Amino acid sequence: MRGPLGAVIGRYPSSDGTTEIGGIIRHNRKCRDIVFLVIFIAFWVAMIVNSSFGFNQGNPLRLTYGLDYKGNLCGDKHAHPGLRKLELKYWLNPNQVYQSGVKDSQFKLSNARSICLWDCPIPSEDSLNWVCDYPEGDIRLSMRDWINRNYDYYEFLTPEMRNTSLQLQGPCYPVIFPSVNVYWSCQFIARASNISLRHWQQMGGVNINEDMVIDKSIHRSINSRSSVLKRYMADIGKSWPVLIVCGGMLPLFLSVIWLLMIRHFVSAMPWITVALFNILIITVTMFYYLKAGWIGNDAISPIIGEHDPYINVFGRELHHLRAVAILMTFIMVVSILTSIAIVRRILMATSVLKVAAKVIGEVQALIIFPIIPYAILAIFYMFWISAALHLFSSGQVVKNNCNTNCCAYDLVAKKVNCDGCCGYSIHYTPHIAVAIFFHLFGGYWATQFFIACSSTVVAGSVASYYWARGETSPEIPFLPVFASMKRLIRYNLGPVALGSLVVSLVESIRFILESIRRKLKVAGVTSDGWFGKIGNHTSQGCLRCVEWTIKSVNRNAYIMIAITGKSFFKASEIATELIMNNILRIGKVNVIGDVILFLGKLCVSLSSAIFGFLMLDTYKYRAAHNKISSPLLPVLICWALGYVVATLFFAVVEMSIDTIILSFCQDSEEHQGTAQYAPPLLIETLGDQNEMQRLTQ
């Protein structure tokens, strides 16, 4: 049988049953799992180096704006010529756009001649409009004058230039098709202006294809997976005020309010939490239905700015929103049914929350302690998100390798040039993908590490309260929290780094396997039979169970690390043995308490998501310069950040319950099945009437 472990702070009764005066004990500790702490520090150094590469090579504006035929980024004031405020990519030659959309064509849209404009040109109602190349050479116009003339200097062209323009070789090109601003690219509408086309034909211009392909070619490029991913990442950068307010400040406020309500209205909180959760998840689902266009007329539109209401352009983002709306409907139904099923157990949750409320009332610093890890995480996330945006945009601008036959007039060389037809694109090397994955893994590991540190400090503080019998003493109000922080920094950072690494590795493996499964499904390799589907769903369920089990074991391991100062694996073994030996005694109480706390975290995170929807629905993010492509990713990040913040604060209650229960189990084992330090409220909650009578006497 395992010997006594020793508490952080406690009073053991002497052999005659009397409590030793001043018998506060302190377990002898030493640093554990130092190797993994060194690995964690080395990983942070690698994260800084990796992020510095992103800051040096990346430019988040690439996620939003396109490149012109010279390789300049639209909107770049340092480009030559200066493109400040010229943010819209426009394809000059409509026949090249058509050719890129023809089936089996070798010509790609990225090689079509494009420039950056202030707004998308539209055909004239009584004449022929022109869009001319950047003014260079003999065209003595400034960029400002060029913009003020609506990009038209056709009247200044020499006869040779006019002839090449009629051949669609520039420097001026006719505006035959209307276009609209779709995600900062001018999307052609395959409805040629009859008046403009008639003027073009009367001037002797070459034939211009009017097929629907000219519409679909640009639309296909804008809706490619890589373009959608770039827009999603750009949405994060544009909506940073929403992330700060709804992902940082709001959950902080709501979490503190929830803790205070647990302290003063503990009996009503389980009922309030369940009811509020159902209201919030229904509200979030309705918001997704609104943005998906299934309710009302507020669906997201890829078109930026004012446009013809009869023009409808659909983006891939709308399909994603509709898929999430369907998923949220399923989650909403399951959540409501589950809430109904646990109504009868809520009274038990109220009892276990009373124990936590008692601890919070005695160890008052627990309420404000989570602000410390919250501030650390806030600084970390600002750095991490900024580095992520730079890494996602850290490709190199290179000239395409093409063998297409096309010509364009060169204003500097004063002749038609058929050698420089290839356009430019952003090339991403494989090591960038590795750097991005490394950055994502590092962000998740750091998050788990800070949450684990917070949980360990709370566990050490609550253990001090339990082993001192909850007596009011100078050590109870504030000192246990700071003493626990000191023990964490001095002894326990290694085990915490190891525990957070285990969770991160399991989650990463699950993510990789899920990605492989999706790719196999898209490729049609997976079996469509019932046996294949059962195997697929079973494997996913097993991975989720493993993940949940490891997270649960880790949480209890952090408690035993705080109490005993053991290494991570030894603490996990002790915690698991204690739980298995007392599973019938504590199982139902712990599970119901965890469910209510989980619903509380979801209430905070869902509130963050709702306020995120409301802020993103303002004019600034819908029609102005900072228009986002979809509220999906910013809202999901607000939800995730809200959940992380809620986890930091709710860990006060969660770890209080788990620490007291594990301390009770350890107390019982060390004293032959009779808990010497358990408060009466805990005995009552666990339903041990004999213990209750003994303590009452």
Burial of 175 (0-12, 13-18, 19+ CB in 10 A): buried
What pLDDT score was predicted for residue 684? 64
Mean pLDDT of 609-631: 86
What pLDDT score was predicted for residue 61? 87
What pLDDT score was predicted for residue 614? 92
What pLDDT score was predicted for residue 207? 87
Mean pLDDT of 282-300: 86
What pLDDT score was predicted for residue 327? 92
Q: Has residue 353 got a pLDDT over 80? A: no
Q: Has residue 677 got a pLDDT over 80? A: no
Interatomic CA distance for residues 572 and 570, integer angstroms: 5
123 within 8 A of 196, measured Cβ to Cβ: yes
Say which residue the tokens 């909850």 belong to.
Answer: 470
Tens of pLDDT along 122-152? Answer: 888 888 889 998 888 888 888 888 988 888 8
Mean pLDDT of 96-110: 82
Same domain, 237 and 137: no
Same domain, 567 and 621: yes
Same domain, 416 and 343: yes
What are the structure tokens assigned to 236, written together? 């994060």
Interatomic CA distance for residues 318 and 291, integer angstroms: 8
The answer as to whether 77 is a domain residue is no
Q: Has residue 627 got a pLDDT over 80? A: yes
Q: Residue 108's closest CA among 119, 92, 97? A: 97
Q: Has residue 27 got a pLDDT over 60? A: no
pTM: 0.81
Question: Domain end: 223, 248, 263, which one?
Answer: 223
Q: Has residue 560 got a pLDDT over 60? A: yes
The answer as to whether 529 is a domain residue is yes
Q: Has residue 477 got a pLDDT over 60? A: no
Same domain, 162 and 234: no
What are the structure tokens assigned to 197, written together? 């086309």
Same domain, 205 and 297: no
Q: Has residue 686 got a pLDDT over 80? A: no
Question: Looking at 27-41, 72-86, 522-536, 667-681, which range is the least confident one?
Answer: 522-536
Interatomic CA distance for residues 154 and 165, integer angstroms: 9
Confidence of residue 296 (pLDDT cuts 50, 70, 90): confident
The answer as to whether 38 is a domain residue is no
Interatomic CA distance for residues 66 and 58, integer angstroms: 15
What pLDDT score was predicted for residue 475? 45
The answer as to whether 610 is a domain residue is yes
What DSSP string describes 98-166? HHHHSTT-S--GGGS-EEEESS-----SSS--EEEPPP-TT----HHHHHHTTT--GGG--HHHHHHHH
Same domain, 440 and 583: yes
Domain that holds residue 97: 88-223
What pLDDT score was predicted for residue 472? 46
Same domain, 537 and 629: yes
Same domain, 355 and 477: yes
Count of structural domains within the chain: 2
Tens of pLDDT along 214-237? Answer: 777 887 888 888 888 888 888 898
Average pLDDT taken over every residue of the chain = 80
Non-local CB neighbours of 518 within 8 Å, separated by 6+ positions: none
Mean pLDDT of 196-203: 86
- DSSP H stretches of helix in 363-429: 365-368, 371-392
Question: Domain end: 170, 188, 223, which one?
Answer: 223
The answer as to whether 44 is a domain residue is no
Say which residue the tokens 């869009």 belong to.
Answer: 131
Percent above pLDDT 90 for the chain: 20
Q: Has residue 104 got a pLDDT over 70? A: yes
What pLDDT score was predicted for residue 641? 93
Same domain, 143 and 162: yes
Same domain, 263 and 412: yes
The answer as to whether 48 is a domain residue is no
Question: Looking at 395-399, 496-500, 687-691, which range is the least confident one?
Answer: 687-691
Interatomic CA distance for residues 472 and 301, integer angstroms: 61
Q: Has residue 22 got a pLDDT over 60? A: no
Question: Domain end: 191, 223, 255, which one?
Answer: 223
Question: Looking at 568-572, 648-652, 682-686, which range is the least confident one?
Answer: 682-686
Tens of pLDDT along 29-88? Answer: 788 889 999 999 999 999 999 999 999 988 888 888 888 888 888 888 888 888 888 888
The answer as to whether 433 is a domain residue is yes
Q: Has residue 368 got a pLDDT over 80? A: yes
Tens of pLDDT along 569-596? Answer: 888 888 888 777 777 666 555 666 778 8
Say which residue the tokens 């919070």 belong to.
Answer: 360
132 within 8 A of 173, measured Cβ to Cβ: yes
Percent above pLDDT 70 for the chain: 81
Same domain, 195 and 115: yes
What pLDDT score was predicted for residue 338? 84
Q: Residue 380's closest CA among 43, 48, 643? A: 48
Same domain, 414 and 514: yes
Would you say how long the chain is, in residues?
A: 697
Q: Has residue 445 got a pLDDT over 90? A: yes
Confidence of residue 619 (pLDDT cuts 50, 70, 90): confident
The answer as to whether 204 is a domain residue is yes
Q: Has residue 363 got a pLDDT over 90? A: no
Q: What angle do CA 609, 610, 612 make, to 5 degrees?
A: 60
Q: Residue 214's closest CA among 100, 334, 47, 65? A: 100
